[in-house]
A and B are shown apart, each in its own frame.
Chain A
Amino acid sequence: GESVGLHLPTLSVQEGDNSIINCAYSNSASDYFIWYKQESGKGPQFIIDIRSNMDKRQGQRVTVLLNKTVKHLSLQIAATQPGDSAVYFCAENIKEGRRALTFGSGTRLQVQP
């Protein structure tokens, strides 16, 4: 079946460094992607989204890059802070369908002080 997945299950970075979390997707019909952050004991929280007609989108300290050629999505977090420690999921949605988001299995980000 088609799926969204992540390359690295755990990423450990030093406070102040930049973090890059990667995600591969296989559904060529997907054209809308979202990154979510989930802290322990809480529901996922929206971070940033991107549509397939874009290859980059920036938010506050976060940037999402989309490479449709290789079906790859990444989330860059600038100046990583301890509060960024969480599990990060990418999710995809197919245009025109009524399907809900399909989530990948997540990457845990650990920020070392």
Chain B
Amino acid sequence: DTGVSQDPRHKITKRGQNVTFRCDPISEHNRLYWYRQTLGQGPEFLTYFQNEAQLEKSRLLSDRFSAERPKGSFSTLEIQRTEQGDSAMYLCASSVGQGYTGELFFGEGSRLTVL
């Protein structure tokens, strides 16, 4: 399977703990995105990388959130001092291109539950 891969698929943690999610995009896709999705809502944009450069961050991305894509391949999203409001599905997507966003290829997400 050469699609977008996310790990772990499910994470249950206690409030105040740190969690990290990993995303492996489709190879040769230069763009990588993180979205957050809560039940019944559309995905909300968090951040976006072109190669290793983080080009845009949403205001939703508080200082407890940090994302990296150190070599322009896989990416990690870390949430520090988790809160119950962080419970959501975290979706990663990748795409190729320079101009229009184009078609995003989404992974199946990492579901976070904060107790």
Contact = CB atoms under 8 A, between A and B. Distances in A.
A63 to B, nearest CB: 18
Given A44-B43, A102-B45, A105-B42, A93 B108 contact: no
A4 B48 CA distance: 20
B100 A105 contact: no
A100 B106 contact: no
What size tier do the contact residues of chain B reach? 20 to 34
B40 A106 contact: yes
Interface string A87-113: 001010101001111111110000000
Contacts of A89: 42-43
Contacts of A100: 33, 35, 45, 48, 56, 101
Interface string B20-47: 0000000000000101000011111100
A41 interface: yes
Interface in A1-59: 4, 32, 34, 41-46, 49
B93 interface: yes
A43 B93 contact: yes
B103 A49 contact: yes
A63 B108 CA distance: 26
Nearest to B89: A43
A53 B41 CA distance: 29
A43 B45 contact: no
B35 to A, nearest CB: 8
Interface string B70-108: 000000000000000000000101000000110111111
A44 B107 CA distance: 8
Of B33, B43, B48, B50, most A-chain CB atoms within 10 Å: B43
Contacts of A91: 42
Interface of B: 4, 33, 35, 40-45, 48, 50, 55-56, 91, 93, 100-101, 103-109
